[in-house]
Amino acid sequence: MQNYKIEKGRFGAFMTVPEGETRILQLADVQIIDSDQMRRPDRLCERERLKWVAERTWENAYSYVQEAVNKAKPHLIILSGDNVYGEFDDSGRQLKLLAAFLDSFDIPWAPVFGNHDNESELGPDFQCRLLENSPNCLFMRGDATGNGNYAVTLIKGNVPFRTILMLDSHGCLTYPGIRDDQVELCKKACEEVVERYGKLPPLFACYHIPSTEFLAAAAEAGYQEVDDYFAKYEIGKTFPARNGDFGKRDDPQGRVGANESFMDFFKEAGGDGIFVGHYHKNSTSILSGGIRYTFGLKTGVYDYHNKDMLGSTLITVTGSARGAFEVVHLPSEIIDDFWEKLGNTP
């Protein structure tokens, strides 16, 4: 695995990276749909069935991942959930192929579960084992509610400079949100870092479904009312950008509860960046109360999306202090004209 040193602890992975800036690539909602594995013949219309056949996975997803890696040249890849649409992967084939594809880059990668990942009939036990056994994958199931609760701590010169909390935000099969026992696991993961290195660096968090903390951040920045779930705007056009904020909001965000206990811990522990997905037409990155709240660009064309909001997100850590990072979206340059070529097929 290039020149990285990876060590697994009790609650996460410790990863030594080269000197200089550290580039973290976020892939959001890759969401591979294999129409060959439809459970019901009426689940997709004919146009969708043709679009999502397994033979088109490169055009629909992998080409976007490859483009993102080529652009970012990352030291670490994080996937913020809905990596494979589990309902369309009861054989586990697409998850196996995706893991092998990500491993082929020889770059450490760390995924979390989204609300659709664990819908496969094979169940999360199979999925977690597969991820934990993938050579370059840092995933750990974690002893807390959900699947995939762990930390990734980045180290230079035997000094930690950033810890990323990777969390299952649930959804679909259970109510979305981060549970109290997950917060306790985060605390233990942070304690493990301090035990090893004598200090806790600033924290990032990565999970799939944003809760009301994202609405509150947008309201505090003056872009919308906190309870205006249907607000649409583009920062820098609809409103002047504040604090380097950017992105577009074009997807209603319903009230899905509040991660109050997690946010209390995260703020107190020195967290300064949260990275999510789930809402395919939201790409805002907003600084509020010292924390940057970012929706990653959707990676690939599976499920609904805006053509001009596809790509990936690059997080560049420039130092060890709180706030020493930059976030930019990397819009895709791939032209997907499948629907146009398909014409009037029902």
The rounded mean pLDDT for the chain is 95
Beta 12-16 vs 248-249: how paired, if at all?
A: unpaired
Residue in 22, 21, 51 with CA at minimum distance from that of residue 38:
51
pLDDT number for residue 171: 85
Query: Binning pLDDT at 50, 70 and 90, where does residue 343 land?
Result: confident
Query: Binning pLDDT at 50, 70 and 90, where does residue 342 land?
Result: confident
Tell me the residue length of the chain. 346
pLDDT at 174 over 90: no
For the whole prediction, is pTM greater than 0.95? Answer: yes
Helix axes 180-197, 260-268, angle to 10 degrees: 20
Kindly state the average pLDDT of the residues 245-271.
92
Query: 166 vs 11, 20, 183, 246, 268, CA distance in Å?
Result: 11, 24, 11, 24, 18
Kindly state the average pLDDT of the residues 137-163.
97
Burial 80-113 (b: 16+ CB within 10 A, else e): bbbbbbbbbbbebebbbbbbeebbebebbbbbbb
Give the Cα separation of 187 and 167 in Å (integer): 13
What is the tens place of the pLDDT at every residue in 116-137? 999 999 999 999 999 999 999 9
Percent over 70 (pLDDT), the chain: 97
According to DSSP, the residues that pair with 276 across neighbouring strands are: 295
pLDDT number for residue 345: 55
pLDDT number for residue 65: 98
pLDDT number for residue 344: 60
At a CB cut-off of 8 Å and minimum separation 6, what does 45 contact? 346
What is the tens place of the pLDDT at every residue in 6-17? 999 999 999 999
Beta 76-79 vs 22-27: how paired, if at all?
A: parallel
Query: Binning pLDDT at 50, 70 and 90, where does residue 255 land?
Result: low
pLDDT at 1 over 60: no
Domains defined for the chain, CATH in brackets? 5-340 (3.60.21.10)
pLDDT number for residue 2: 61
Which stretches of the chain are DSSP H helices?
46-51, 57, 63-72, 93-103, 123-133, 180-197, 212-220, 260-268, 338-342
